[in-house]
């Protein structure tokens, strides 16, 4: 396939957000494998320092529209501009973050361009695909890998016949890495004058504010839970750091909550919430029946405990016998080493 | 209030289409849930009304409560047994139900699905509002709503969690975003996708359950006992329309597998079997081993 790799960069108050930087790094690698260029589309207000923000991720071309009408994000306005650029430049791959903006925008754009869109990917690879029926082999396709069926399957999705190959990618699964701090990008200003019109502004944002979504352990795919064995409120920072890295939430046993290490709404168990995550990592939790009642249906359980006979180990899939203050940093290190 | 004023305040009744999908209950998925060709083996899984779509139905019913004369139409695309979705809609207060069902729609990705739904909505005609769920729990893409909106040329509002205000030709709602909320005013017509945090759907109504128990599509009717056939013939509201490719005037190249750019290349089940715990030491090697296994089995990473 011909064409370059494009990344749609989301901005917030003039700053390109993390997920987009992660995608630039991932896009850089794909472009390297495909021997093509990496291009970014950046829309926002007050983003004149854009080169300083993103060139270093190895961006060859930046398509930019810097205009007060582009803040806040509006679906129709953004989809018109992005569709226009993609239609004109015919990329082979386009990546969006699987954020509330990316998942609102990308499908609208894909529908306009009549191309395929793979949702919420956690891995991207370049590879070949043999079409069973026609026995045709397609080379160097984007293999977009994503969970579906509530996380119980991983599907690899390909699109060989209706370009571009588009995907939204989950936050926190790609590593953001500076490629070359002296990298230079070409800047292309998108001319909005004939592109957007009043009718694209029919939806009016009356109010917008940050609101920490309430703790919702029930929906969390991964939970890092701490017990009395964590020892102190400060030690819980280590659990939060680990959880952030995994895209997990933090919960705890009643003993940890009673000791004041953690807020009430994070209690798991008979008198707290019942959870069924894909992965439950119990740190310094003994596994009293009132606790396990709230988590024993987790698909996979890892227990980190000094005591190899702690009751929780009986329902665990992996048991690490040791001091959590040593084990957790090792796990963080190991994850960094092995993640994509 | 003087009568004139009252009349001015009367809002125009709306024609609302609720998109509802029948989905396998993904809480019970085993390794045999997928066929070798990568398509879903729907036959072996219990099916339910997609959870978000029940919230979308509730949203429509709340509007109907506020504007007299509003019609709520439940639309589902799926195989024969998806008629359950239409009946469930009736039990909870929908006015009409409609199925789009044809083998040729099979294997559709979200582009082809949204095309099919959009063609159906155009065929229904004069629709003021389309309400979908944010996401279906099987395909999990959250793409069908926005793609349908684009195809019928409606503006879209996604992740709606609360109805704030309803006026003549405009509606104000609260959206739930990654890190906050947004209150937006949208014109009508509009398509909205409704979040799981919207009010829970009202339960089945006992009278409606009795009234619509024997609602059937023609396909279903063919295999029913005579008394049901007679009943449906006498009471036309029990007849669930079932549209095919020709009825919605769809182009064959845009539906089903042919109209679907995304194809499943491979599927791996990551359902875990209960087994003996692996006991590991706190050495870096042991920890690397475990983290490696968690990454390669897609539990993390
Ligand atoms: C009516 C009732 C309802 C209850 N409801 C709940 C409930 O909803 N949820 C709940 O959790 N509990 C509940 N409980 C309390 C429950 O019985 C236990 O007391 C509680 O779960 C114990 O918490 P814990 O495992 O954190 O602490 P402990 O039992 O004190 O266990 C601490 C564990 O940490 C380990 N450890 C210590 N230091 C380290 C270290 N440095 N590194 C690694 N491991 C270490 C120890 O070996 C030990 O296994 C309820 C009790 C009652 C009576
Ligand atoms: C493992 C797997 C992975 C897949 N990955 C992708 C992918 O990455 N990209 C892609 O384009 N397709 C993908 N598909 C195909 C996709 O599941 C189907 O296109 C499906 O018809 C609609 O998508 P969804 O289930 O994701 O629904 P969503 O887009 O999540 O549904 C949102 C809302 O749209 C409405 N809706 C959706 N389908 C119907 C219907 N049949 N009838 C009425 N209303 C409906 C409902 O209101 C629903 O709540 C995948 C399928 C499988 C099995």
Provide the pLDDT for residue A153.
78
Q: Determine how many CB atoms are found less than 10 A away from the CB of residue A234.
A: 9
pLDDT of A189 > 70? The answer is yes
Mean pLDDT score across all residues of chain B? 90
DSSP-derived letter for residue B246 is T
Whole-angstrom distance, CA of residue B205 vs CA of residue B211: 10
Provide the pLDDT for residue B62.
98
Provide the pLDDT for residue B202.
96
Provide the pLDDT for residue A313.
94
Report H helices in chain A: 18-34, 50-54, 75-89, 102-113, 236-246, 254-258, 289-292, 324-338
pLDDT in tens, A192-250: 999 999 999 999 999 998 766 567 787 788 999 999 999 999 999 999 999 988 989 99
Domain covering A217-338 in this structure, CATH number: 3.40.50.1220
pLDDT in tens, B214-267: 999 999 999 999 999 999 999 999 999 999 999 999 999 999 999 999 998 888
- CB neighbour class for B28 (10 Å; exposed up to 12, middle 13-18, buried from 19): exposed
Q: What is the mean predicted confidence (pLDDT) over A33-61?
A: 97
Q: Determine how many CB atoms are found less than 10 A away from the CB of residue B5.
A: 8
DSSP-derived letter for residue B240 is -
Provide the pLDDT for residue A272.
84
Q: Nearest-CA neighbor of A76 among B173, B250, B184? A: B184
Atom of ligand 1 nearest to the CA of A270: 8
Mean pLDDT score across all residues of chain A? 93
Q: What is the mean predicted confidence (pLDDT) over B19-40?
A: 69
Dihedral sign of CA atoms A225, A231, A237, A242 in order: negative
Say which of A212, A331, A340 has its CB closest to residue B291: A331
pLDDT in tens, B151-167: 999 999 999 999 999 99
Whole-angstrom distance, CA of residue B301 vs CA of residue B297: 9
Contacts of A300 (CB under 8 A, 6+ apart): A278, A279, A280, A317, A318, B272, B294, B299
Judge if the beta carbon of residue A229 lies within 6 A of ligand 1: yes
Tokens representing A62 are: 């930046």
Provide the pLDDT for residue A187.
97
ipTM of this complex prediction, to 2 decimal places: 0.87
Provide the pLDDT for residue B29.
54
Judge if the beta carbon of residue B20 lies within 6 A of ligand 2: yes
CB A170 within 8 A of CB A148: no
CB pairs under 8 A between A and B: 237
Provide the pLDDT for residue A178.
95
Provide the pLDDT for residue B103.
96
Atom of ligand 2 nearest to the CA of B112: 19
Nearest-CA distance A208 → chain B (Å):
4
Residue A154 banded pLDDT, cuts 50, 70, 90: confident
Residue A105 banded pLDDT, cuts 50, 70, 90: very high
- Regarding beta strands A165-169 and A93-97, do their DSSP bridges make them parallel or antiparallel, or are they unpaired? parallel
Q: What is the mean predicted confidence (pLDDT) over B32-59?
A: 79
More confident call, B288 vs A210: B288
Provide the pLDDT for residue B38.
54
Judge if the beta carbon of residue A288 lies within 6 A of ligand 1: yes
Q: What is the mean predicted confidence (pLDDT) over B279-298?
A: 90
Q: Determine how many CB atoms are found less than 10 A away from the CB of residue B8.
A: 9
Tokens representing B227 are: 């008394």
**B111–A111 CB contact, under 8 Å:** yes
CB A267 within 8 A of CB A251: yes
pLDDT in tens, A55-91: 999 999 999 999 999 999 999 999 999 999 999 999 9
> How far, in Å, is the centroid of ligand 1 from the Cα of B299?
26
Say which of B38, B147, B300 has its CB closest to residue A110: B147
Residue B274: closest C-alpha in chain A? A317
Query: Domain spans of chain A?
Result: 5-201, 217-338
Maximum Cα interatomic distance, chain B, rounded to a whole number of Å: 82
Q: What is the mean predicted confidence (pLDDT) over A110-135?
A: 94
- CB neighbour class for A7 (10 Å; exposed up to 12, middle 13-18, buried from 19): buried
Strand ranges in A152-244 using DSSP code E only, listed in sequence order: 153-158, 165-169, 186-189, 204-210, 222-226
Whole-angstrom distance, CA of residue A288 vs CA of residue A293: 9
- Regarding beta strands A153-158 and A137-148, do their DSSP bridges make them parallel or antiparallel, or are they unpaired? antiparallel
Whole-angstrom distance, CA of residue B37 vs CA of residue B35: 5
Nearest-CA distance A71 → chain B (Å):
13
CB B152 within 8 A of CB B122: yes
**B301–A151 CB contact, under 8 Å:** no
Nearest-CA distance B200 → chain A (Å):
17
CB A8 within 8 A of CB A96: yes
Whole-angstrom distance, CA of residue B247 vs CA of residue B119: 10
- Same CATH topology for A5-201 and A217-338: the answer is yes
Q: Whose CA is nearest to atom 53 of ligand 2?
A: B139
**A160–B187 CB contact, under 8 Å:** no
pLDDT in tens, B57-105: 999 999 999 999 999 999 999 999 999 999 999 999 999 999 999 999 9
Provide the pLDDT for residue B178.
80
Q: Nearest-CA neighbor of A50 among A82, A80, A20? A: A20
**Least confident span in A263-272, A323-332, B273-282:** B273-282
Q: At which residue do the structure tokens 């359902």 appear?
A: B271
Judge if the beta carbon of residue B133 lies within 6 A of ligand 2: yes
pLDDT of A1 > 90? The answer is no
Q: What is the mean predicted confidence (pLDDT) over B1-24?
A: 74
Architecture of domain B15-254: 3-Layer(aba) Sandwich (3.40)
Judge if the beta carbon of residue B116 lies within 6 A of ligand 2: no
List beta partners, residue B99. B76, B242
Provide the pLDDT for residue B4.
41
More confident call, B71 vs B1: B71
> How far, in Å, is the centroid of ligand 2 from the Cα of B79?
14
Best of A232, A236, A254 to mutate for ligand 1, by most ligand atoms within 8 A of CB? A254
End-to-end CA distance of chain B: 63
Q: Whose CA is nearest to atom 4 of ligand 2?
A: B139
Provide the pLDDT for residue B11.
87
**B150–A334 CB contact, under 8 Å:** no
Residue A339 banded pLDDT, cuts 50, 70, 90: confident
Q: What is the mean predicted confidence (pLDDT) over A277-293?
A: 92
Judge if the beta carbon of residue A270 lies within 6 A of ligand 1: yes
Q: Nearest-CA neighbor of B18 among B93, B96, B84, B72? A: B72
CA-to-CA dists, residue A136 to A304, B6, B194, B279, angstroms: 50, 68, 41, 47
Nearest-CA distance A44 → chain B (Å):
18
Which CATH code, of 3.50.30.10, 3.40.50.1470, 3.40.50.620, 3.40.190.10, is assigned to A5-201?
A: 3.40.50.620
Strand ranges in A85-190 using DSSP code E only, listed in sequence order: 93-97, 117-121, 123-130, 137-148, 153-158, 165-169, 186-189
**B180–A148 CB contact, under 8 Å:** no
- CB neighbour class for B37 (10 Å; exposed up to 12, middle 13-18, buried from 19): exposed
Dihedral sign of CA atoms B180, B185, B186, B188 in order: positive
The structure's pTM equals 0.80
Judge if the beta carbon of residue B100 lies within 6 A of ligand 2: no
């Amino acid at each position: 396939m011909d064409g370059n790799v494009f990344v749609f960069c989301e901005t917030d108050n003039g700053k390109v957000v993390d997920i987009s930087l992660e995608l630039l790094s991932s896009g850089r690698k794909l472009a390297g494998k495909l021997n093509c260029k990496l291009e970014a589309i950046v829309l926002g207000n007050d983003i004149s320092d854009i080169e300083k923000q993103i060139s270093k991720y190895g961006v060859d071309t930046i398509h930019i529209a810097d205009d007060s009408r582009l803040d806040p994000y509006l679906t129709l306005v953004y989809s018109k501009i992005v569709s226009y650029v993609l239609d004109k430049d015919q990329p082979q791959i386009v990546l969006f973050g699987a954020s509330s903006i990316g998942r609102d925008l990308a499908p609208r754009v894909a529908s306009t361009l009549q191309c395929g869109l793979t949702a919420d990917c956690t891995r991207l690879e370049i590879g070949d695909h043999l079409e069973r029926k026609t026995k045709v082999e397609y080379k160097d396709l984007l293999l977009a890998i994503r969970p579906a069926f509530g996380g119980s399957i991983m599907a690899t999705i390909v699109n060989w016949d209706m370009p571009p190959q588009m995907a939204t990618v989950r936050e926190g699964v790609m590593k953001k890495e500076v490629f070359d701090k002296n990298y230079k990008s070409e800047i292309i200003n998108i001319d909005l004058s004939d592109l957007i019109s009043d009718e694209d502004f029919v939806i009016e944002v009356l109010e917008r504010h940050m609101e920490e979504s309430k703790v919702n352990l029930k929906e969390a795919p991964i939970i890092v839970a701490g017990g009395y064995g964590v020892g102190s409120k400060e030690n819980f920072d280590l659990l939060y750091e680990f959880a952030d890295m995994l895209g997990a939430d933090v919960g705890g046993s009643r003993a940890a909550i009673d000791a004041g290490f953690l807020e009430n709404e994070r209690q798991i168990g008979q008198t707290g919430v019942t959870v069924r995550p894909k992965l439950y990592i119990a740190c310094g939790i003994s596994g009293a029946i009132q606790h396990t009642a709230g988590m024993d249906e987790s698909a996979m359980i890892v227990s980190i405990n000094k005591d190899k006979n702690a009751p929780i180990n009986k329902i665990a899939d992996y048991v690490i016998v040791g001091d959590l203050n040593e084990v957790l940093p090792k796990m963080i290190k190991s994850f960094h080493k092995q993640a994509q | 209030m003087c009568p004139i004023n009252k009349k001015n305040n009367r809002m125009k009744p709306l024609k609302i289409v609720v998109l509802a999908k029948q989905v396998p209950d993904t809480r019970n998925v085993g390794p045999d849930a997928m066929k070798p060709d990568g398509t879903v083996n729907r036959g072996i899984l219990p099916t339910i009304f997609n959870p978000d779509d029940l919230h979308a139905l509730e949203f429509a019913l709340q509007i109907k409560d506020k504007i007299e004369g509003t019609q709520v139409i439940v639309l589902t695309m799926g195989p024969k047994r998806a008629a359950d979705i239409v009946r469930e809609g009736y039990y909870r207060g929908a006015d009409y139900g409609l199925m789009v069902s044809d083998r040729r729609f099979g294997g559709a990705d979200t582009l082809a699905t949204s095309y099919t739904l959009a063609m159906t909505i155009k065929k229904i005609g004069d629709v003021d509002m389309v309400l979908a769920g944010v996401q279906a729990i099987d395909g999990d893409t959250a793409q069908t709503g926005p793609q349908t909106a684009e195809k019928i040329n409606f503006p879209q509002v996604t992740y709606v969690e609360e109805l704030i205000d309803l006026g003549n030709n405009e509606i104000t709602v609260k959206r739930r975003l990654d890190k906050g909320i947004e209150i937006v005013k949208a014109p009508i017509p509009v398509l909205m996708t409704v979040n799981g945090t919207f009010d829970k759907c009202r339960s089945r109504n006992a009278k409606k359950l009795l009234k619509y128990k024997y609602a059937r599509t023609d396909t279903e009717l063919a295999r029913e006992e005579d008394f049901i056939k007679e009943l449906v013939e006498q009471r036309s509201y029990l007849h669930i329309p079932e549209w095919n490719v020709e009825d919605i005037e769809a182009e064959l190249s845009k539906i089903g597998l042919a109209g679907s750019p995304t194809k499943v290349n491979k599927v791996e089940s990551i359902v875990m079997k209960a087994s003996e715990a692996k006991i590991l030491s706190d050495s870096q090697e042991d920890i690397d081993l475990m983290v490696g296994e968690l990454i390669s089995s897609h539990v993390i990473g």
